[in-house]
Amino acid sequence: MNKKDQLNTIKEDFKNCQKVLLAIGDETRQSILLGLMETDCQTGLRVGEITEQTHLSRPAVSHHLKILRDAGIILMRKEGTKNFYYIDIRTKLSLLKTLISDIETLLKQYD
């Protein structure tokens, strides 16, 4: 693959990663993700539990959870009237691996 093709691939990688990068770039959402990582991925946490961990209001937590869900990083599981949020093990975070790998491949040519 020539350099121009590699750069086009990386450009496409960046485009695919935009929502993920924006979602994980916020310190509050990073805190929520760390809290979710501390739990069993299948069990997850409810908004109230995340509120306790982060000391944010329920509406603020809900807002951040929506951004993380829209980015494809977390999922919600309903249990009766309760909603549990957890990190999707097939998460879109894997797009970041592709981006980094493609950048490394390009940069290795300069070593």
Domain containing residue 89: CATH number: 1.10.10.10
Q: How distant, in Å, are the alpha carbons of 35, 48, 66, 78 from that of 43?
A: 12, 14, 18, 11
Number of domains in the chain: 1
CA atoms of 17 and 92, how far apart (whole Å):
8
Query: Contact 61/50 with Cβ under 8 angstroms?
Result: yes
64-90 pLDDT, tens digit each = 999 999 999 999 999 999 999 999 877
CA atoms of 6 and 72, how far apart (whole Å):
26
List the domain range (segments joined by +) for residue 94.
3-108
Single pTM value for the model: 0.86
Q: Over 70: is that where the pLDDT of 10 sits?
A: yes
